[in-house]
Structure 1
Amino acid sequence: MADYSFFSNRECEFFPCHDNVDPDDFNCLFCYCPLYTLGDRCGGNFRYTEAGIKSCENCGIPHSKGGYRYVNSKFPELNELAARNRSKD
């Protein structure tokens, strides 16, 4: 794995913040998931709370071994969403 695609911060008080990813392979690079804004198109194991808030506590995609590659594969969708938001201004 390339140096730029993996970072693990075992010193973090929340490490590991998801129980479904092996701590030895836990990638902290996307501490805050850039796919959150895609809503139900992110591809992760999420749920919406009763208050309508997206909860990603059961998703480990951005923190997994293949997470960097997966997140990058979704950037065309993020770009499309950003373009639509720009056109609303």
Structure 2
Amino acid sequence: MGRSLWGWGRRKPPPAADPPEGVPGGGRPPLPALGATLGRLLVALEALVAPPDRDRTRRLVRDFGAPGGAGPRLQERLRRAPPAPPPAAGA
């Protein structure tokens, strides 16, 4: 059984994850397609958004992902951004 997080024996942080397969040199994983991500978002929101607000939520997500909308612009910026440096040891 693990030690208490509040007591004298704090748990050690989990070891760093191995780089994802297919990512040379442990770079960042590939960016998923915006449409797929927005589709998963809508499925997840079904349980969280009240039925009267679902149409508005769908419309907002559709507008976000529309060509020329904020979603594709953000996707392009993420695609062009340099990878973040690895976290410092002991951080």
> Normalising by the residue count of structure 1, what TM-score does the alignment of the two structures yield?
0.27
Which structure is richer in relative contact order (CA contacts within 8 A, separation 6 or more)?
1
> Normalising by the residue count of structure 2, what TM-score does the alignment of the two structures yield?
0.26
More helix by share: 2
More strand by share: 1
